[in-house]
Amino acid sequence: MSRSSWIAFVVLCVLSATSWVIPHGEELPVLEQQGIRYAVIGLIALLLGGSKEWSWGPALDLGLVSVGFFGVPVAIVEWTQGSVSEISRSALFAIVPVVVVMAIAAGDDERGVRRFLVPALAGLGGLLLLLPMGLSGTFLGRLMLGLVCAAVVLVGLSSVWLYRLLRGVALTQAVAAVCLANAAFLLVCSAVSRDVVWSGSGLASVISIGSLVDAVEVVLIVWLLQEMPPVRFAARCLVIPLLTILESYIVVRPGVTVRIACGTVLLAAGAGLLLFLNAGEEETMLSLR
């Protein structure tokens, strides 16, 4: 991996981990707000060259798969917000590296990728020690939890497919295809939910520092999906909560227990091994069969 890829990965993780202190416009419903943001980013990418040598077939494939990575999780998280806590969702999305490793191991002749399974499980175990999940006893709660789990699996599988689909695609074209497809999906979901607010002040609220940060994150994610092997990129699901937890401890300064210490060590070790464990080039050029 190039130095620029590592820098972009660090910037993405820091931005995502510190998003809780960045002001976002809140006058629009979440699905509509996210849909409009994706639409704006996609249109800008088109104007910057995304429409050059446009091929509708590959663009459609890329857009459809990207909805599984971006749009569907956003919609499911929004729909399950009252039934699944934020802590439980954060813990569940730490399963993404496990899904990625298992998907690659099942679809590729090379078995060396399986060495990443232990670090992925270690990082997941560490996060579960730090963020214990609260399981609902109701049928609706279990159903919503199942939907979040389905979104987690979809994110993992989509990231592997996107790595292949994005090979050789110009960044502006990739961003345009990804963002316009997700904008359409999220706006349709918002309309189906009858949660659409067309007001001047609401639309103006999309223009904010938070929206600019979101735009930067989307571009970085699309580029890193193209440049980083899926297993290494999946490590962000461990690195981001690790940074967030460290930030919260610096601010709140709670007492350190054995459970917290063990969880932090496991989370950091799992993330570090996913990022830096050596793997042959044949193990990173992956395919799903």
Check pLDDT > 60 for residue 24: yes
Distance in angstroms (rounded) separating the CA atoms of residues 156 and 97: 7
Q: Which token pair is 263?
A: 């969880």
Residue 182 CA neighbour count, 13 Å, CB half: 31
Cβ contact 236:93 at 8 Å? no
Q: What confidence category does residue 27 fall into, taking pLDDT thresholds of 50, 70 and 90?
A: low
- pLDDT tens, position by position, 62-80: 999 999 999 999 999 988 8
Q: Which pLDDT belongs to residue 101?
A: 94
Residue range 260-282: average pLDDT? 85
Q: What does pTM read for this prediction?
A: 0.88
Q: What confidence category does residue 270 fall into, taking pLDDT thresholds of 50, 70 and 90?
A: very high
Distance in angstroms (rounded) separating the CA atoms of residues 247 and 13: 13
Cβ contact 113:278 at 8 Å? no
Distance in angstroms (rounded) separating the CA atoms of residues 161 and 230: 9
Q: Which pLDDT belongs to residue 187?
A: 92
User: Across all residues in the chain, what is the average pLDDT?
Assistant: 85
Residue range 178-183: average pLDDT? 96
Q: Which pLDDT belongs to residue 151?
A: 95
> Which position has the higher pLDDT, 266 or 32?
266
Domain edges within the chain: 3-13+25-283
Q: What confidence category does residue 196 fall into, taking pLDDT thresholds of 50, 70 and 90?
A: low
Residue range 32-60: average pLDDT? 83
- pLDDT tens, position by position, 199-249: 555 566 667 787 888 899 999 999 999 999 999 999 999 999 999 888 888
What angle do helix axes 56-69 and 139-165 make, rounded to 10 degrees? 140
Distance in angstroms (rounded) separating the CA atoms of residues 89 and 152: 9
- pLDDT tens, position by position, 83-122: 888 888 888 999 999 999 999 988 754 567 888 999 999 9
Cβ contact 87:134 at 8 Å? yes
Give the rounded percent of residues in the chain with a pLDDT score beyond 70. 85
Q: What confidence category does residue 250 fall into, taking pLDDT thresholds of 50, 70 and 90?
A: confident
